[in-house]
Structure 1
Amino acid sequence: MDILKVISGGQTGVDRAALDVALKHRIKCGGWCPAGRLDESGKIPDRYPLKELKKGGPEERTLRNVQGSEGTIVIYFHELSGGTAYTVGCCIEDRQPHRLIDAAKYSPEDAATLMISFVCDNEIDILNIAGPRESEWVGGYAYAFRAVDILVSRLRVRGRGRV
């Protein structure tokens, strides 16, 4: 089984890691980003194929990315806050399948196993991945990249239903 598309908002940290894994594995990726392609470091690089909102900021981006996917994985460290908590709220409000991965509790390898179960159990082809920006969780990019890379690699090798 392959994930057909990874959606993320392009912010530094977890979002960027998800997009980088998709690009590494040549998986279709995209999603919405705020007007001006703004992120905490300035501007989201053009190599990320994101659709720019004509107006609206991070909240609108988050809502559109949740609604544009079949399920959302939220990777965070210890406690939900800010935009990451807002993402979970959007999932609950839209009654969308979602899986929380607390990096304080799981190694990247164990997180990947949980994510595989979530993707397979919910038959998700278009996956939204979200979490804190890098300044809110230093090391979030590295953790998320490793976990999502393992997820994609294992899904490709084992296939849905045989995980």
Structure 2
Amino acid sequence: MSINSRTPALVSIVSGGQTGADRAAIDSAMSHGFAVAGYCPKDRLAEDGVIPSRYPLEEVAGSYRARTRKNIQVSDGTVVFYRDEIDGGTALTVSLALKERVPLKLIDLGAVDVAIAAQKLCEFCEHHQIATLNVAGPRASKCPGAYSYVFDVIGRLVNGSASDHTGDNRFDQ
């Protein structure tokens, strides 16, 4: 089962450009020639300074909250990566996705293997007919390892290697 054969509707990845999960999603999709977009805070602010111009993000007036809401609104569904508990901006994303009533997938990167996460995300996209997927999660300073995990999951998703994985369904979230 691959994203190419199962979910041909997925055409772009959206994210807000923050360090960690956001940048990993954009970097991974771009490295596979996959379309990316998204909204970032005014002045392209992130925890490490200014978001580099190589990221094709549009500035939105207002706070991180405005950026988060806009990315949710322009997407068909949102995946939120987290480790152990959901807090800070990641919790805001979950709250706003629920308020906007968009499909939401939660993946605990501390508990779910990359291959299983990619498969579950593939199934989520197929089930909800996701054309534009918003990817969110913790910033680098709050969750070491989030970047490489999200980079690998999104890479498997967009390049068609999110294969069937039969295993323990306790990881299904």
- Tell me the CA shift for residue 31 of structure 1: 0.7
Match of 1:114 among 94, 116, 120: 120
The question of 1:99 aligning with 2:102 is answered: no
1:61 partnered with 2:67: yes
Cα distance, 1:156–1:76 mapped onto 2, change above 3 Å: closer
2:86 maps to 1:84: no
Aligned to 2:171: none
Quote the Cα distance in structure 2 between the aligned partners of 1:16 and 1:2: 23
* Deviation per residue, 1:115-144 (Å, 9 max, x gap): 001000001010000000000001110110
In the alignment, the residues of structure 2 paired with residue 141 and residue 153 of structure 1 have an alpha-carbon distance, to the nearest angstrom, of 18
RMSD: 1.6
Structure 1 segments of 4 or more deviating over 6 A? Answer: 155-158
Correspondence 1:26 to 2:41? no
Q: In structure 1, the residue corresponding to 2:101 is in which secondary structure?
A: coil
Unaligned ranges ≥5, structure 2 = 1-7, 165-173
Rounded to whole Å, the distance in 2 between the matches of 1:81 and 1:111 is 20
Other-structure match for 2:24: 17
**Do the aligned partners of 2:9 and 2:129 also contact (CA within 8 Å) in 1?**
no
Per-residue deviation, residues 8-44 of structure 1 (Å, max 9, x unmatched):
0000000000101111111111110000000000010
Aligned residues: 157
Relative to structure 1, the CA distance from residue 156 to residue 101 in structure 2 (aligned partners, 3 Å threshold; closer, same or farther) is: closer
Q: Deviation of residue 5 (structure 1)?
A: 1.0
Which amino acid letter does the alignment assign opposite residue 17 of structure 2? G
When normalised by structure 2's length, the TM-score is 0.87
Identity of aligned residues (%): 42
Aligned-residue offset at 1:153: 2.0
Please tell me whether the aligned partners of residues 116 and 155 of structure 1 are also in contact (alpha carbons under 8 angstroms): no
Aligned counterparts of 2:133 and 2:124: Cα–Cα separation in 1? 10
| Matched letter for residue 152 of structure 1 | V
- Whole-Å Cα distance in 1 between the matches of residues 33 and 40 of structure 2? 20
Whole-Å separation in 2 of the counterparts to 1:25 and 1:150: 10
- Partner amino acid, structure 1, of 2:36: C
Distance 1:103 1:115 in 2: 13
Gaps of 5+ in 1: 159-163
